């Protein structure tokens, strides 16, 4: 990978981290791995991903900045998995199943929402 690609990824990840920390701050939670925080950032990242895909942007640098850097740092797949693992450890299997379905379904719905909003807006 070229140096300019790395710089775009680093810049995007910086903004993704700032937004993620801001969401943690405004939610008033002390725990970074709170299920509400993880749900909010994953749904928001899915919405942004739907918008980006709907815009059909093919610029390599913008893709590195936004998809790889910003959304990669904003979204929290590892935190999501960690939260699922905690629920398994606590033997809260029903909550685990509900949380899993909630995050996946809401993320998919918001991705579609972002995508179709852009398609409607462009026409």
- Provide the total of helices (H) and of strands (E) in the chain, helices listed first: 6, 0
Structure tokens at 35: 């299920």
Helices 77-89 and 35-55: crossing angle, nearest 10°? 150
Amino acid 53: pLDDT? 94
CA dihedral 97, 112, 48, 76 (to 10 degrees): 10
pLDDT 10s digits, 39-57: 888 999 999 999 999 999 8
pTM, two decimals, is 0.87
Cα–Cα dist 92/16, whole Å: 31
CA atoms within 13 A on the CB side of 107: 18
What span, in angstroms and rounded, lies between the C-alpha atoms of 15 and 69?
8
**What pLDDT, in 10s, does the model give residues 73-120?**
998 788 889 889 999 999 999 999 999 999 999 999 999 999 999 999
Residue 92 has φ and ψ, to the nearest 5°, of: -100, 75
Q: Which pLDDT score, from 0 to 100, does residue 1 have?
A: 73
Give the whole-angstrom CA distance, residue 29 versus residue 26: 8
Task: Check residue 33 and give its pLDDT.
Answer: 55
């Amino acid at each position: 990978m070229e140096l300019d690609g790395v710089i775009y990824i680093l810049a995007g990840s910086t903004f993704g981290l700032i937004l993620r920390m801001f969401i943690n701050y405004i939610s008033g939670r002390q725990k970074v791995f709170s299920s509400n925080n993880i749900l909010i950032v994953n749904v928001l990242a899915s919405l942004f991903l739907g918008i980006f895909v709907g815009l059909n942007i093919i610029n390599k640098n913008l893709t590195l900045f936004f998809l790889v850097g910003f959304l990669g740092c904003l979204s929290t797949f590892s935190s999501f998995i960690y939260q699922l693992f905690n629920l398994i450890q606590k033997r809260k299997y029903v909550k685990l199943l509900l949380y899993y379905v909630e995050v996946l379904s809401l993320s998919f719905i918001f991705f579609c929402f972002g995508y179709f909003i852009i398609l409607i807006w462009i026409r």
